[in-house]
Structure 1
Amino acid sequence: MKRALLRIEKSLGLLTGLSGVLSGLGMVLMILLVFGNMAARYLFGTGAVWLQELELYLLAFTVMTGFAYAMRHDDHVRIDVFSNFLNRTGKLWLDTFTMLVVAIPISVLILHYAWPYMAVSYARGEGSPNAGGMPWLFLPKAMILVGFALVLTEALRQALAGGRRLIFHYRRPRRNQEPAREA
């Protein structure tokens, strides 16, 4: 059972690691596209609306795939009002509790409400309101689903890791205690 949970934890970690790579690639593409659009506009006096809107599509991709990666490396915004007063074990309890009570339920809730939002956009064939703009307006809306599915994945991974660490913490003998000897 322990090995299976560790394997699940590692698999979820690989998925969120991949999301970081994809987010980085999206950022590089977005930087190149913004530079290309700027050069086309100011050097050549030309440009395309759909290329400018593609920047927004790439921004949605980059941000939504980067959330889980930021969570994984603890680079997200958090309020440390409570955790500053806690020791290492208390912080571990707080992080695990936060994943179970806040991150996982909110991710599930957002996935529940984002699905019809994206599905309606797809069914209607929504496109850009601008002339010459991008079609498939459902794609940035679908990134909400992808992003929060990745956040859910990382929250599950952190909850499993936190539970494993807590079990390990309470099972090991204390430093200044001798293990119980059998007589």
Structure 2
Amino acid sequence: MQGLLRLSKGIDAFTEFVGNVTIWLVPLVVAVGVWNVTNRYVGRAIGQTLGSNFYIEAQWYIFSVIFLLGAAYTLKHGEHVRVDVFYGNMSPIAKARVDLFGTLFFLIPFCALLIYFAWPYVMQSWGFLPNGRRVPWEVSPDPGGLPRAPLKTFILISPALLIIQGVSEVIKNLAVLTGHLEPKALADEQNPDLQEV
């Protein structure tokens, strides 16, 4: 179990890194949003079109990347949406059982299915047609729009990161259930230092 807990710590460190990089996209999306609004109002005031579809699409592309890359980080920190009617009052051991079950039977299979069904969609966006033909990348139909293929790739990256973090969560929950990890350490897993028993 000690080796698995080390693997879990490595996964957690990787997820933390991805999350910390993603956090820096937030000021960028805000700046692009401010730019878009400023250009719209200043453009109206002077009778010119100052904005473009490039900046509008860039804003929602960056927001999408923040959402998709932040999912595993959110899971690591236990900040995803829960219906706490029963879960909030459970003991740490019962919470570990519920989390283990949910991760093994819902999170990981759902993410695997998402990757499976999104793969052809993303490959087609990159210009790889099912019949083997190559075509240009998918690009926004709007004038000055951005290529969509790089953004659609995050539809595969996000569930892959969730599966990886899900493996870490499975390890930690198993460690709690087998007595190799204090339940408090799992609850504090939002802290990077796991207290091994």
Between structures 1 and 2, the one with greater helix share: 1
| 1:51 partnered with 2:62 | no
C-alpha deviation, 1:41, in angstroms = 2.2
CA distance in 1: counterparts of 2:88 and 2:59, whole angstroms: 39
Q: Percent of aligned pairs with the same residue?
A: 28
CA distance in 2: counterparts of 1:169 and 1:131, whole angstroms: 58
Q: CA RMSD in A?
A: 1.7
Question: Structure 2: which 5+ residue stretches go unaligned?
Answer: 128-134, 182-197
Q: Of the two, which has the highest radius of gyration?
A: 1
Question: Structure 1: which 5+ residue stretches go unaligned?
Answer: 171-183
Deviations 1:122-176 (A, max 9, x none): 0141100111211x21122111111111111111111111001111179xxxxxx
C-alpha deviation, 1:22, in angstroms = 2.4
C-alpha deviation, 1:43, in angstroms = 2.2
TM-score for both structures, normalised by structure 2: 0.79
Residue type at the aligned position of 2:56: Q
Match of 2:138 in 1: 126
Residue type at the aligned position of 2:65: F
Whether the 8 Å contact between 2:25 and 2:62 is mirrored in structure 1 is yes
TM-score for both structures, normalised by structure 1: 0.85
Residue type at the aligned position of 1:80: D
User: 3-state SS of the aligned residue for 1:131?
Assistant: coil
| 1:79 partnered with 2:73 | no
Match of 1:180 in 2: none
Residue type at the aligned position of 1:148: P
User: 3-state SS of the aligned residue for 2:78?
Assistant: coil
CA distance in 2: counterparts of 1:76 and 1:3, whole angstroms: 27
CA distance in 2: counterparts of 1:94 and 1:3, whole angstroms: 23
Match of 2:31 in 1: 32
